[in-house]
Chain A
Amino acid sequence: MKPHVTVALTSVHGGDAPSAGLVAAQMLRRQQALDVRLVVLATDAFADGIQGVHVADRVVVVPPLARDPEAFVARIRDLARKERRLVLVPGSPGDTIALASWQPALRRAGARAILPRPVQLRELPFPANGRGVRSPRYLVVAASNRLQALRRVWRYPVGVRWADGEQAWAYNATDLHAILAAGPAGAVAGVYEAVPGIEISVATLARDAAPASLVVARPLHVSENGVVWSAVTMANPRLVADARRAMAALRWRGPAEARFTLDDGGRLWFTGLTPGFPSWVSLTAAAGQDLVLQYVQLALGARPGRPSTFADEVFQARVSVDHSTTIDVLRQLVTEGETSHAARSRDHLRTAAPDHAHAPLHQ
């Protein structure tokens, strides 16, 4: 019999910016190793609740963690009482940051999670100050010294990366000023010198300091709003070893996306880290390393395995599709604050994609 676990996910939404939470939910639906009951934690019946219906066994509207953490934790406590083993998976960078700040309370409430240490959050987007990792010259710009950053930039273009993963390029001081001014209030930004080369994204998971697993990919089709719609894995042993060394030096705990530039000489330059899984995380499973499943297993206490390989040149194409439900389900979410299997017909419980959507996988 497969071990049973309840997994609660945050930020499950699609539209034009599908979240890692949505993709993680789809992955947990497809995996065969665990008997998973999926609970989507939505902050609003419509904004994200209705979007979780087609992947979840249960959708529960909860108070937003960032705005009302005590009420959120209380709701998790209620859930943990009813659901025997509860693992919490953050579905966005913002949720990872917010949950990491409340780890002791969440643990006491009965939820298991693998999250960064609060001190690491203060170092974003360059944890450990990039020690031991090759990186271009960079500045970490606090909200209070954004204008000073303009005087300290060496040469343009520069990349700007916010702690929540948003990224933009500034080609002159006017651009940089506009980007910094438009950034989230109070947020810290990393400003880094551009290195010619190709952008690499590394999905990684660590329970302790060293990464338990990682998968290296090159984003291919990125839409105007920065969302990755296609990507391909890169399993060159030297590249993977370099990425693993860099992640070990950063000592990051939990899931993360690290961004690098691969220059013409084959060298990796670290350009910032975003907490939480990247939205292309399903590619990790297709390449033989299901990072979301591993997260749940590690949270349940499994020992990290030896670092294993992943398949090279596995291509991911993400396709927008519409799923249907009924207005009654939305009404139930609004009026009762939740909806579950028993309340809905089987039509609403199909997995997110037809079986043929996911084959063939490279192993």
Chain B
Amino acid sequence: MGSRSARNVTVAITGLAADGNPAPGVAVARSLRAARDFRGRLVGLTFDHRFTGAYSSYFDAVHLTPPPASGEGVYLTALQRVAHTEKVDVLIPTLDPEALLCAAGHRGLSRMHIRTLLPSDSSIRRRAKMMLPTLAPKAGFTVPRTLVVTSRATLDAALRQLALPFYLKGSFADARLIVTLDQAYIEFDRLSARWGLPLLAQERIVGDELNVAVLYDRDGRRVGAVPMRKLGVTSQGKGWAGVTLDAPELIALADRLMRALEWVGAAELEVIVDRTSGAVNLVEVNPRFPAWIYLATAAKTNLPWTAVRLAVGERVATLPPPPPGVLFTRTVEDHFGSFDRVTALAGPNGTKEVRA
């Protein structure tokens, strides 16, 4: 596909959950709206009509799509319908399973003339939580001790081998700090019912929680990186406040890892720097922008807009590092409208809600 201007493109964005544990979709949309040169349309894609981001005024239209668990065929067929109606030029999946589906289905997307900026599906699989203990040390990271939990018997083994408290994690998302034996079994049942098996039991490292959002072009060149220190976390461990950092060493480690993964597009690395040893523990690599990505935009490093430009084939210079000391806090906006908007999205035709 040749290059064109990103200025007037239609961008479809997934991940519209926007409650206390938001998905990144609204933050990506806000970043595109904040880009001075962007004059295009934004189309929201959601698999649940209750996600409040679907009713925000950042989107020109919103469509209901099948959940990623429906599989690649069903998902791409639904995307084809949306692409036909909305003339989608660029797709930004912001949920882990959707990124994997879209990477695997890149040929189908290409036939629909939808452009993405994604790594291969094998790159995405290689950064899975279970693979990190093998991969991360080669790039210079330490990895917290992690055990795969496939049954109650392996949970028992984890309870014997890891000191409490430790984290029990779903394979895609969700993590709970396990403090007691009873809680371990309750959370095992809850997480496995919600996310399937296997789960991961991971040693808890106490230290500074740092995240870095990165963006690589199709040649694997890093175009931008925004490191952030979490300053406040919710009861679920999600950051509600953070501040940009000057952290060239962390970015260098990220580069080494992402080069090994032959990464293309956006990612977020979550690390904990051990207060005693100074070791940089790699906890997760997410194949998408993080929910806090608007901080990057506020710090004059608009990674979502840069991703759209790269996706359509524009040449983009490497972005300068963001200034340290830019701080975000999570607040809320209320959006109002007629209840008809809900019934339109949830109804039997079920698919379209257009901003007035």
Contact = CB atoms under 8 A, between A and B. Distances in A.
Please determine whether chains A and B interact with each other in the same assembly.
yes
Interface of A: 14-18, 22-23, 26, 46-47, 50-51, 53-54, 220-221, 223, 225, 227, 229-230, 232, 282-283, 286, 313-330, 352-354, 356-362
B23 to A, nearest CB: 10
Contacts of A53: 329
B327 A326 contact: yes
A47 B233 CA distance: 11
B29 to A, nearest CB: 10
B167 interface: no
A316 B298 contact: no
A16 B298 CA distance: 21
B142 to A, nearest CB: 28
A14 B336 contact: no
B325 interface: yes
B52 A327 contact: no
Nearest to B50: A221
Contact of A283 (B52, B328, B336, B341): B336
A329 B327 contact: yes
Given A15-B232, A15-B240, A321-B332, A315 B50 contact: no
Contact of B232 (A46, A282, A325, A352): A46
Interface of B: 18-22, 26-27, 30, 50, 52-57, 231-232, 234-236, 238, 240-241, 243, 292, 294-295, 298-299, 325-342, 356
A323 B329 contact: yes
Given A50-B327, A322-B298, A352-B333, 4 more contacts: A15-B20, A229-B20, A321-B18, A324-B328
B338 A318 contact: no
B339 A319 contact: no
Contacts of B53: 317, 319
B332 A14 contact: yes
B235 A225 contact: yes
B152 to A, nearest CB: 22
Nearest to A362: B338
A318 B327 contact: no
Given A16-B21, A220-B50, A325-B327, A318 B332 contact: yes
Contact of A26 (B52, B334, B336): B334
B235 to A, nearest CB: 7
Contacts of A360: 336-337, 356
A357 B334 contact: yes
Contacts of B335: 316-319, 357-358
B298 A320 contact: no
B329 A319 contact: no
A360 B340 CA distance: 13
Nearest to B298: A324
B329 A230 contact: no
7 contacts: A50-B241, A223-B19, A232-B339, A286-B334, A319-B22, A319-B335, A357-B335
Contact of A353 (B238, B292, B334, B339): B334
A255 B303 CA distance: 44
Contacts of B341: 315
A313 B338 contact: yes
Contacts of A322: 27, 292, 294-295, 298, 328-331
A251 B50 CA distance: 36
Contacts of B54: 317
B338 to A, nearest CB: 6
Contacts of A227: 19-20
A258 to B, nearest CB: 21
Contacts of B235: 16, 225
A344 to B, nearest CB: 12
Contacts of A315: 55, 336-339, 341-342
B295 A324 contact: yes
B327 A15 contact: no
Contacts of B26: 319-321
Contacts of B334: 23, 26, 282-283, 286, 316-319, 353, 357-358
B338 A314 contact: yes
Nearest to A313: B339
Given A46-B231, A286-B336, A316-B334, A324 B19 contact: no
A269 B292 CA distance: 42
B19 A229 contact: yes
Contacts of B332: 14, 18, 22-23, 318-321, 352
Contacts of A229: 18-20, 52
Best-buried of B294, B295, B329, B356 by chain A (most CB within 10 Å): B329
A321 B331 contact: yes
B342 A50 contact: no
A320 B236 CA distance: 15
Contacts of B19: 16, 221, 223, 227, 229, 318, 320
B345 to A, nearest CB: 11
